Amino acid sequence: MLAREPLLGSFINLGSALAAEIAGHAGFDWLLLDHEHGPGGEETLLHQLWACGAAGVPACVRVAWNDPVRLKRALDLGPAAVMIPMVNSAAEAQAAVRAVRFPPRGNRGIAKISRSTGFGAHFDKLYYGDDDACALIVQIETPEAVADVAAIAAVDGVDALFVGPVDLTANLGCLGNQDHPDFVAARQAVAAAARRHGKAAGILQLDASRTTLHRDEGFSLITIGADAGVLFHGLRSIVAEAGPLMREERRP
């Protein structure tokens, strides 16, 4: 990720372990388990992480808020990365780093017997040599975050900046208009700041045809769609095709 190699992911927001496993077998490079807007809880998160492991795909957990308690619960389950929404300043990014790193670098609570440590089998390796094995991704979703994006990108311990296009376009006053000049300028500022400070830049996109555009802008961590949207649009296309056939007049 830090080498800014292209990594294709998708959001998993139904709280379903089976959906995560199916997406893993579909061939994505990584999956985002959405526990900000998704209905899942800690028990479903554990099952989703098992499912991602079974499919051989790294999983990033998006927590609901920049909260040390929420982060600690997710981190102890052993994800490959965590994503934090609505990080609006360098100070908030620094707080996130402290929450995900052990003392003395941070203030993450220590549990030697957790899934993240192999239930104690490799605690020493995690604590003394691999504290940053879990990547930290912060989301840029407000004009305030864009204004401070250079300072956010400079924070040691932040590995990637990720644009949330729905929230950011809404907060810029152009909800859903990804070609609005203000949003174009914002996402280009994010990509430039990430590149300048050796971090990765990511973005969510619902339209796969825009992948090349974002790659050219400097985004390497790209997610396309979500399990809920794929299911809804797939089923709706069946209804659109078969519904009229069910209602057409029968031939004698």
What positions carry a catalytic annotation?
Answer: 37
Peptide bond into 104 cis (omega under 30): yes
Alpha-carbon distance values, 239 to 69, 167, 226, 235 (Å): 44, 31, 20, 6
Q: How many Å apart are CA 81 and CA 184, to the nearest integer?
A: 27
Under 8 Å between Cβ of 219 and 9: no
- Which residues are 160's β-sheet partners? 137, 200
Under 8 Å between Cβ of 145 and 87: yes
**Environment class of residue 38 by beta-carbon count within 10 Å: exposed (0-12), middle (13-18) or buried (19+)?**
buried
Instruction: Cite the beta strand spans of the chain per DSSP E.
Output: 7-12, 30-34, 59-62, 81-84, 135-140, 160-163, 200-205, 221-226
Determine the length of the chain.
252
Q: Which of 138, 140, 133, 243 is nearest to 189 (CA)?
A: 140
